[in-house]
A = this chain, B = another copy of it.
Amino acid sequence: MFELIKTDPSSRARRGRLRTSHGDIETPQYMPVGTQASVKAVAPRDLEAMGAEIILGNTYHLFLRPGLEVMNKFGGLHKFMNWSRPILTDSGGFQVFSLAKLRNISDAGVEFRSHLDGTKFFLGPKESMAIQHALGSDIIMAFDECPPWPAEEGAVAAAVERTITWARASLDHHRHLTATDETRPTQVQALFGIVQGGGYPHLREQCAKAITALDFDGFAIGGVSVGEPEPEMYKAAEATVPHLPEHKVRYAMGLGQPHQIVELVARGVDIFDCVLPTRVARHATVYTRTGTLNLRGAQYRMDGSPLDPACGCYACQNFTRAYIRHLFKAGEILALVLVSLHNLWFYQDLMRDIRNALSTDSFRAFRENFLRTYQTTKEKP
């Protein structure tokens, strides 16, 4: 499923290709987040135009709304939202632990109340696999327990144990469903395992060894992007990646800012997802080659330049900072649409640049140059 095309001599970075039933994904790759069957404020035609090869959907949200009855009626998430390229869905575990009101946790799963209307549900490895089969996503994720940050070592160790137990159960039930469910006979759904372990390198190692001993199609670094400081995030990645097999794809969940993506690629990560580009867009924050800027600033009132002069997106090709700033000040929806579009385009450009640098053996120079140019301190999104 994963073809390792090239490795970078200056770092752990890799250039690869992931095959799915809905098309190939060139890695390193960033996935726009379509939580509720929509990448916020951006239409599928624009995702296609910017070259997005895969998007992410959230099992927890889609399970609650529109729900499986609707999903089954329309033959899965691709058809429901009219997206013909690959989709990855998470397991729902992260949202159950972070959004829902928890009731009971057992080895079978979690009883919780919906954050929308309080309705009681149960979600465990079996249920998560069944939902993700109904969604028909190309890559599905094992059900895991993601501890909060910070957490005591004992709590993280327990989450690692449960994550390993649930990983086995996820794999078993996925095999069972694949063998028995004939809804999509031609579609192959890949299943990725998730490594937890918080900020404890020995727990990361222990979890990685147990999870990689199972026959997953790829591996994710979970328990990052949960509020930890940036050095802790890198530490977690560094404690995990060396224990992952070379010839399977690696996914850092929920990450990250542009410079973090470059640094994680250098640490051997292949795929990313992150809500930042669309989330900060709704607060007028714009990604540019030199860092982020916030359009609400008075200095952009008469600024006739595009959001990012180096960008080829519809917003940058047609509108000025002054105009889009005006749209924000006036509360116009088009402001959110244009900046969301631009920010996602920026991320796609970043990944293209990274892949191109790896393909042309110039990743080291690219990395140095990017980190010199992109000012993370200018403004924090």
Contact = CB atoms under 8 A, between A and B. Distances in A.
Interface of A: 36-38, 40-45, 61, 65-66, 69-70, 73-74, 80-82, 301-302, 304, 314, 318-320, 322-323, 326-327, 329-330, 332-334, 336-338
Contacts of A69: 302
Given A81-B323, A314-B43, A70 B333 contact: no
A304 B74 CA distance: 8
Given A81-B323, A329-B65, A334 B70 contact: no
Contacts of A81: 319, 323
Given A43-B314, A318-B44, A330-B36, A301 B65 contact: no
A326 B43 contact: no
A41 to B, nearest CB: 4
A331 to B, nearest CB: 8
- For A61, A302, A322, A332, the residue with the greatest tally of chain B CB atoms inside 10 Å of its CB is A332
A65 B323 contact: no
Given A40-B332, A41-B333, A74-B322, 9 more contacts: A36-B326, A36-B327, A37-B327, A41-B334, A66-B322, A73-B322, A80-B323, A333-B333, A333-B337
A337 B332 CA distance: 12
A124 to B, nearest CB: 25
Given A38-B330, A40-B332, A66-B301, A82 B323 contact: yes
A82 B322 contact: no
A301 B70 contact: yes
Nearest to A322: B70
Given A66-B322, A80-B323, A301-B70, A314 B45 contact: yes
A58 to B, nearest CB: 11
Contact of A43 (B38, B74, B82, B338): B338
Given A82-B319, A319-B82, A326 B41 contact: no
A70 B266 CA distance: 45
A345 B224 CA distance: 45
A65 B330 CA distance: 8
A42 B334 contact: yes
